[in-house]
Amino acid sequence: MFGSVARWAAAGLLVAAAVRAGLPGTVEHAHQLTAENWEEKTRNGMWLVEHFSPGCGHCRAFAPTYEKLSEENKDLEKSRGMFFGQINCQVQGDLCNSHEIKFYPQLKLYQNSQEIDQYTGDRSHGHLTEYVQDKSRIFARSLAQNVLVESGREKVTSGVNAEGISVNAGEEELDRMIKDGPVFVKFYAPWCGHCKKLAPTWAELGTAMKDKLAIAEVNCEALPALCKKHKITGYPTLNLYNAGAVKPYNGPRKLNKMQEFALNAIIPPTLHHVDAEELKTVQKRKDVFFLFLHTFGTKPNDLAMLKKTSTYRANDVAFYQSSDPDIFASSKIDGTKGSVLAVFKDHMDKPVSTLYFDEAHPSTDQINTFIMSHKYPLVTELTPDNHEELFNLPTRALIVLAALKPGSKNRKEFESDLAYFTKVSRAWQKGGRQFSQPVHFVWTDATRQSKWLKHTYGVNPKKLPAVVLIDPPLNQYYDTTLERDSLKFDGASIFSTLEGMYQHFLIPKAASSALERGSKQFEDGVMGLMKIVARHPFLTFFILGAFIAFAIFGLGRFIDYDLNKTNAANSRLD
């Protein structure tokens, strides 16, 4: 035993000494392989190994070429898993014999310690570079296919809702459940008849979603501030919270229908694998998509973390994966930095943003934030369907809102305006200041939304196209530039307002109009009256009866007075 250890140590010292001393044929940037480290070193990745002897003239002549080759392609170790090695057969005779080496220098290619090819071509630098690039490219393309590639869809059994119940949530618990997401929430009031009818079915839903989806309920009579925070205006309200978005359920309140709606939130999308050619097709078809790129340095947990995020499971964003080196090259993405999540927009061939896992060490929350910040196209149309989501994003995004006229009479003008607005958005993405809040560029139909735009943001329907900068979390907007000019539909003007807002040089305006405030007060008054009626039905009946009696009495007196007055007038005309 001691003798074996001594031999290993001696061999290691001899190899190290040979490299330091510049033993003929030894290459500095190649891994020196021995019988003792062969299995451990070469069991992962692809290895081009030179078998040589210091006394071989051809080996000494080839050494500068192999040195240059291994030095120039050192980055391939991290990006593609391509390594360069040497075995000194004068010292490692048994190892070279096991590799069936017949002459020196002899180059063989290994994958996971197994020989897969023998290089027999010209040993010039150019030919060897081409060989290394081709072989490493093939190996790298297989990396993504070997890591967590499923066909079809997978179900989640993450341990959520382990007890199979609907949680009676307070504010802190509801915030936590929404953050962890997804969660299906019922907002109710004890006096509400529809709520009472739904209660047993909702409890059944909690049981049906055991180990699949969190189910919760909030008593709005006990927690009015919490329900106001979530903009609850009627009972029962059923909301699905997932990836920062709120999806109201307005379907039949039957178990199978609600269960079907809920299951759609927990079935993640298929993570399709693409190569460089397939990516071109995706870029043409998709306004926005995310691409997870594997490298040889990708950790098994990297992709698992992406799949755990609620934004990935939201099913409203396209995700793809690849390890094709040609994609790294065409997209200008550094493959030596490990796994990367890239977002592509507006059919561009390069990503607008990237998240490198080895550099950022992102948590699931940080991955969620990255996806939420970039999930929208360069320019998004604001509609009644997405208004709630866009104006209540957890990223607290700013919105540059353009009021355009897409009507058929102005089609060419509209297309020109939209193209220009997209150009401004692209310029901001490339070179704009990085705020703590994301900036989304959004347009809306100024003809259909003219009253809302006028009352809320002061947009004159006769002066289009127009633009305002909105800060939804603070319910404020900006319509002037740093130069104190009115904000115009112009890139320089928009950038000036964004800069002024960032520097706190501009005074915002309140976005809540008098109409909206009056509507809200009326809405709150009706809700309050409904609660009083439910709590004190007999008192309400008495007051209502007295009011009706008083109204009848007053009406009778008014009629008598009116008749007497009419008779008196008629007599005077006679």
Asked whether residue 32 falls in the same domain as residue 97, the answer is yes
- 303 is written with which tokens? 């992709």
Going edge to edge, which strands form the sheet with 439-445?
A: 379-381, 439-445, 398-404, 466-471, 476-478, 509-510
Last residue of a domain, one of 228, 263, 298: 263
How long is the chain? Answer: 574
Same domain, residue pair 122 and 15: yes
Asked if residue 56 belongs to a domain, the reply is: yes
pLDDT for the residue 360: 82
Residue 26 domain-assigned? yes
* Same domain? 476 vs 542: no
User: 492, 347, 468, 476: which is closest to 404 by C-alpha?
Assistant: 468
pLDDT digits (tens, 9 = 90+) for 265-275: 667 667 788 99
202 and 317 share a domain? no
Are 501 and 537 within one domain? no
Helix (H), strand (E), coil (C) string for 27-95: CCCCEECCCCCHHHHHCCCEEEEEEECCCCHHHHHHHHHHHHHHHHCCCHHHHCCEEEEEEECCCCHHH
pLDDT tens track for 399-423: 999 999 987 677 889 999 999 999 9
Judgement on whether residues 311 and 434 belong to the same structural domain of the protein: no
Q: Could you tell me if 408 and 457 lie in one domain?
A: yes
* 369, 371, 372, 376: CA torsion to nearest 10: 150
Q: Which of 320, 342, 373 lies at the terminal end of a domain, its last residue?
A: 373
Q: Which of 116-120, 204-208, 424-428, 518-522 has the lowest mean pLDDT?
A: 518-522
Are 206 and 234 part of one and the same domain?
yes
Residue 214 lies in a domain: yes
In a domain, residue 292? The reply is: yes
What CATH number did the domain enclosing 31 receive?
3.40.30.10
87 plus 218 within the same structural domain: no
Could you give the C-alpha distances from 425 to 267, 302, 343, 491, in angstroms and in order?
33, 31, 15, 9
Residue 322 host element (H or E):
strand 318-322
38 & 130 share domain: yes
470 in the same domain as 354 = no
In a domain, 156, yes or no: no
Question: Could you give the CA distance from residue 394 to residue 218 in angstroms, rounded to a whole number?
Answer: 21
**How far is it, in rounded angstroms, from Cα 365 to Cα 180?**
9
220 flagged as catalytic: no
Model confidence pLDDT, tens digit, residues 112-169: 999 999 999 999 999 999 999 999 999 998 887 665 444 333 444 456 888 999 999 9
pTM of the model: 0.68
Instruction: Tell me how far apart the alpha carbons of residues 42 and 53 are, in angstroms, rounded to a whole number.
Output: 21
Chain-centroid distance of CA 403 in Å reads 27
Mean of the pLDDT values across residues 90-94? 96
Say how many domains are in the chain.
5
Residue 508 lies in a domain: yes
Strand 439-445 and strand 379-381: the pairing is parallel
SS3 318: strand
Residue 333 located in a structural domain: yes
Residues 123 and 236 in one domain: no
**Distance, CA of 451 to CA of 4 (rounded, Å):** 88
Among 358, 359, 369, 433, residue whose Cα is nearest residue 397: 369
Residue 255 falls within a domain, yes or no? yes
Catalytic (active site) residue 195: yes
355, 373, 391 - which closes a domain: 373
Identify whether the C-beta of residue 128 lies closer than 8 Å to the C-beta of residue 65: yes
Domain that holds residue 219: 166-263
Q: Which residues contact 50 (CB under 8 A, 6 or more apart)?
A: 27, 30, 62, 66, 84, 85, 86, 87, 105, 106, 107
Choosing from 59, 89, 96, 195, which is the catalytic residue?
195
